[in-house]
Structure 1
């Protein structure tokens, strides 16, 4: 696959582009909060089904596709995963004026995505509102706002400081099916890919870019030389809140290896850069990955001329590390797209998706 296969236009906004790019944008516009990944799941199943021998949704809500190996006596099946859920918010309580008090679903803070429009996913109706702190033109008589001013209280902005203005009464919210537990997502108007130089940026490339990698890998294996072993492509639920879907799939699907595809942080402390090659993770906050698996990924990346980046990362966890840490998989590996500002406005190089796809495809064909 050419590194030019994912090529937004150079006008600054992502436009027509290739099929892969258009798919990525469709995924980014789809809301997928943890436990309510329906819109993303529909896209994944639609795209995956023609590329595998069987496809289904398991009891955990994961989309699973089985691509049978070419060899009758191949090695153990491999489970390869990318998650469908995104960072989002939950309604904690509703104020008498119809405003919503929130808490987070996944590790994030108001500053990760900024104040602005949000989508409130009511059971009967999707509403739009505005995540707001209130007016900056206030004094100490407005202590909640005053305390967060850098030149006054200097308090970091947190969920207790912000709220969603809905413009609706509590009765109207009830009729729309909005209550505590309702998911609130960053509005689609803030989720358009932007191209600049050799990079593209958007919220929620975690883990929509990795979903595109899995689908493109399935396409390559389906149309070209198949792997010797069976491969289970798994698009998981609830990764951001404990790796629930990936752990379930690791326990219930055949195989010994769970291999994840994720965004990977690019920071000086890890020796990784967003302009570098695919990141191979040797350890994260949850587990130490299997060295033979990581070494094999590094060897493949080097042989393909992709300049892979080995990394030991902290404050990070993923589906395979959750499964390994809880004894649900015998082996685990993690391959990442180098990503700037993970869990914020994320940036990847234009070549990141094709490079990781090429590396993953080769690994699945020859994992040992």
Structure 2
């Protein structure tokens, strides 16, 4: 199997694991089993981060994170006719999902419903008419049709606070030549990259923590919890980078962030990562983003880590049906492998 084929398959398996923020059990079970197969043990902390540590032979410590949660919605009301109303959890938008099957992760059973916006063959007498021409569609305008009674919904363990995600059968990734297209590449592709990185780490100089962080989409809660409790010389988040007209981001090489909406990234750490990339004949591009945050910048903002960086792969349609180049995701793994073998953090 070619490397890009293997990476496509690895990402595909992870995409099919539902993991809305705070309800990440499916992907936890998957990753725990995968690491057991690799002869490595994942630890889970109180914030539900999954962590594997590779002790170093020298000085320094670094955390490399990939968040395992995905954007979603959360049930806010159950109506007498069995319709559910939801609000966003993370950066989700109803028009991105479109009308179609969604899964509701009840405590006893997963049930499916149809995300609905109402009929289009209507006049101004119907409230949804304005969405045809003038008004953006918001979660307040949408509902989930279940055709179940309130009792049946309750028996499934679906309550206020239950998470809603895109229906599993809609999530299967699609191959576009050397690209992968899918929901939740943010951040299942980074999780797949970190699993591959774990296979490669041998005899690091500094202590390396690989952290599959929880609840990133709702404020990097897991990464902040982890960084508060460990003395880290650096934290590097592996992420997506949005391709958009306002950013000069090409899709053919990894991105290193200079800043985002939450913080400046550390220039010395960025310079070191750039040199390590060059040693692998990988050219990085720099970007400054708005409307974006990562485990690294948010942990920096709250004073839980002194130096942070964010390495990312360029992605179209972020927080939607995302598209990214498989070879660039693989290059991110190569850069992080070089980082794991270096003494960069030992010298801070």
Instruction: Give the alignment's TM-score, normalised by structure 2.
Output: 0.95
**Is the 1:52–1:218 Cα contact (8 Å) retained in structure 2?**
no
The aligned counterpart of 2:113 is: 129
Counterpart in the other structure of 2:299:
323
Segments of 5+ residues of structure 1 without an aligned counterpart are: 8-17
Could you tell me which runs of 5 or more consecutive residues in structure 2 were left unpaired when the two chains were aligned: none
Matches of 2:82 and 2:289, distance apart in 1: 42
Residues 1:149 and 2:132 aligned together:
yes
Deviations 1:323-364 (A, max 9, x none): 100000111111001111111111111202211100110012
C-alpha separation in 2, matches of 1:103 and 1:264:
25
Q: CA deviation at 1:49?
A: 4.4
Aligned residue among 5, 13, 20 for 1:33: 20
Alpha-carbon distance in structure 2 between the residues aligned to 1:336 and 1:294: 12
Aligned runs of 1:43-58 on 2, under 5 Å? 43-49=30-36, 54-58=41-45
The one of 184, 204, 229 aligned to 1:227 = 204
Instruction: Kindly state the Cα deviation for residue 265 of structure 1 after the two structures are TM-superposed.
Output: 1.1
**Structure-1 separation of matches of 2:8 and 2:284:** 23
Residues 53, 66 of structure 1: alpha-carbon distance in 2 compared, 3 angstrom cutoff: farther
Q: Is the 8 A contact 1:48 1:65 kept in 2?
A: no
Deviations 1:21-42 (A, max 9, x none): 3221111011001100000111
Shift of 1:258: 1.1
CA contact (8 A) 2:277 2:338 kept: no
In the alignment, is residue 193 of structure 1 matched against residue 152 of structure 2?
Answer: no
Equivalent residue pairs, number: 344
Q: Deviations over 1:178-235 (max 9, x none)?
A: 111011110111111111122110000000000011111110114xxx2211101110
Match of 1:293 in 2: 269
Post-superposition offset of 1:48: 3.1
Separation of aligned partners in 1, 2:156 and 2:136: 33
Aligned match for 1:338, one of 314, 336, 348: 314
Instruction: Please point out which of 209, 233, 239 is paired with 1:262.
Output: 239
Q: Distance in 2 between matches of 1:24 and 1:367?
A: 30
How far, CA to CA, are the matches of 2:230 and 2:51 in structure 1? 10
In 1, the alpha carbon distance for the partners of 2:36 and 2:289 equals 34
